[in-house]
Chain A
Amino acid sequence: MFNKILIANRGEIASRIIRTCKKLGIQSVAVYSEPDADSPFVSEADESYPLGGTRVHESYLNIDKILEIAKEAGVEAIHPGYGLLSENGDFANRIEQVGITFIGPSPEVMSKMGSKVEARQTMKDAGVPVIPGTESAVADVDEAKKAAEEIGYPVMLKASSGGGGIGMQIVHDDEELAKAFESNSKRAQMFFGDGTMFLEKKIVDPHHVEIQVLADQEGNTIHLFERECSIQRRHQKVVEEAPSPFISEETRNKMGNAAVKAAKAIGYKNAGTIEFLVDEGQNFYFLEMNTRLQVEHPVTEEITGFDLVHEQLRIANGDSLRYKQEELTMHGHAIEVRVYAEDPKTFYPAPGQMTNLELPQGDSIRHEVGVHKESMVSPFYDPMIAKCITWAETRDEAIENMIYALENYTIEGIKTNIPMLLDVLKHDAFKQGNTNTHFIQSYLKEEAK
Chain B
Amino acid sequence: MIEVKANMAGSVWKIVVKEGEEVEDGQDLLILESMKMEIPIATEDDGTVKELKVQEGDFVNEGDVVAILE
Contacts and interface: CB of A to CB of B under 8 A. Distances in A.
Interface in A341-376: 341-343, 346, 348-352
Interface string A209-240: 00000000000000000000000001000000
Contact of B8 (A234, A350, A382): A350
B35 A382 contact: yes
B35 A383 contact: yes
A14 B33 CA distance: 25
Nearest to A377: B35
Interface string B19-54: 000000000000001111101000000000000000
A384 to B, nearest CB: 9
A343 B9 CA distance: 11
A379 interface: yes
Interface residues of B, number: 13
A409 interface: no
Interface of B: 7-11, 33-37, 39, 59, 62
20 contacts: A341-B35, A342-B35, A343-B8, A346-B7, A348-B7, A348-B34, A348-B37, A349-B10, A349-B39, A350-B8, A350-B9, A351-B10, A379-B10, A379-B11, A379-B33, A379-B35, A379-B59, A381-B35, A382-B35, A383-B37
Report the contact-size class of chain A (Cβ under 8 Å from the partner): 10 to 19
Contacts of B9: 349-352, 379
A281 interface: no
Given A164-B36, A383-B35, A350 B62 contact: yes
Nearest to B11: A379
B35 A351 contact: yes
Contacts of A379: 9-11, 33-35, 59
Nearest to A187: B38
A349 B7 contact: no
A346 B36 CA distance: 16
- Chain A residues touching B, majority SS: loop
Given A349-B39, A379-B34, 10 more contacts: A164-B36, A341-B35, A346-B8, A348-B8, A348-B37, A349-B9, A350-B9, A379-B11, A379-B33, A383-B37
Interface string A322-352: 0000000000000000000111001011111
A350 B10 CA distance: 8
A131 B54 CA distance: 45
A341 B36 CA distance: 12
Nearest to A384: B35
Contacts of A234: 37
A372 B10 CA distance: 21
B36 A382 contact: yes
Nearest to B61: A352
Contact of A381 (B11, B36, B59): B36
A176 B34 CA distance: 28
Contacts of B62: 350
Nearest to A415: B62
A348 B39 contact: yes
B16 to A, nearest CB: 14
Q: Tell which of B11, B34, B59 has the most Cβ of chain A within 10 Å.
A: B34
A274 to B, nearest CB: 24
Interface string A71-109: 000000000000000000000000000000000000000
Nearest to B37: A349
Contacts of A349: 8-10, 34-35, 37, 39
Contacts of B10: 349, 351, 379
A139 B27 CA distance: 30
A81 to B, nearest CB: 15
A351 B34 contact: yes
Contacts of B8: 343, 346, 348-350
B51 to A, nearest CB: 24
Contacts of B34: 348-349, 351, 379
A339 B39 CA distance: 21
Interface in A235-284: none
Contacts of A382: 35-36
A389 to B, nearest CB: 22
A403 B62 CA distance: 30
Contacts of A343: 8
B11 to A, nearest CB: 6
A164 B35 CA distance: 12
A100 B14 CA distance: 40
A352 B10 CA distance: 10
A358 to B, nearest CB: 23
Contacts of A351: 9-10, 34-35
A250 to B, nearest CB: 39
A159 to B, nearest CB: 15
